[in-house]
Amino acid sequence: METKRFAVVGTDARQASAGRALERAGYVVGGAEQVARADCILLPLPLDESRTPLAELLRAAKPGAVALGGKLADAFTPLAKGMNSEYANQNGYDCIQVHGGSGFMLEYACQRIYRDARITSIYEGTTQLQTVAAIRYVTNGFYSSVIEDYAQMPVAAELEGIKSRVAAMAEKFNASVAKVKEAENQELHDLCARHLYEMAADVIMCHLLMQNASKAPEIFMHSLEVYANHAEAEVAKHATLVERMTVEQLDNYRQA
């Protein structure tokens, strides 16, 4: 499988850090001078055409090259922050549980891990606020278009089975989004937002893990297999709840 080439435009700390991260992930990374050969172009944020002649730069890009900038970062940030915070909380909870009655005592490090994990879903925007930030990308179809783009990317032959399962998850996600939008009810929209948010994140993270596992199976294959099982169950759970939800049931939730 041919390694993708990235052209990182800009020299500030954020761009330099992104370039190093892409290199560690195994991509070929160059600067603005490599735009004509790059598969993906990482643009600086904010997009300042007076500082960087972006229009001229993008005209030099090869056909089919993808320009990544503000919208993708804005859409993926709440997914990364919210979901990773919740996973940290779950891992901290499990750590306490494994230690039994000793888990919450100061003599064991897991009590500190749990407290440290708990704040991640509160500071820098609670998980609920991450959902608010992400939900517009659910309802305007941006996440669905990203998922569709990922689905067109090749994966290693041994991952085709998981890819088919992820495609089925994406279908459930799209059907759930359509169900909520068709209702045209803001309260139903708000009540289902967290479920749609988590479905989008699970499908996208499965695709990212598949790409990583295709490049470095010795590092990512086990993680992909575990996460795909988890994501499949979570997407099915959320999809069932959204499917069963009706506007007429909203009073039940108010009373509860």
256 residues of the chain, pLDDT tens digit each: 456 677 777 666 666 766 776 676 666 777 777 777 777 776 665 544 444 455 566 666 666 665 666 567 778 889 999 999 999 999 999 999 999 888 878 888 888 999 999 999 998 889 999 999 999 999 999 999 989 989 998 999 999 999 999 999 999 999 999 999 999 999 999 999 999 999 999 999 999 999 999 999 999 999 999 999 999 999 999 999 999 999 999 999 886 4
Is 213 exposed, middle or buried, given 0-12, 13-18 or 19+ CB atoms closer than 10 A? buried
End-to-end alpha carbon distance in the chain: 53
pLDDT on residue 140? 93
pTM for this prediction = 0.76
The vertex-34 CA angle with 30 and 37, nearest 5°, equals 115
Q: What is the dihedral of CA 72, 75, 80, 85, to 10 degrees?
A: 160
Report d(CA 202, CA 7) in Å as an integer: 28
Nearest residue to 30 via CA among 47, 9, 44: 9
- Say how far residue 206 (Cα) sits from the centre of its chain: 9
Sign of CA dihedral 150, 156, 157, 163: negative
| Residue 214 vs residues 80, 118, 157, 185, 229: alpha-carbon distances, Å | 21, 33, 9, 42, 18
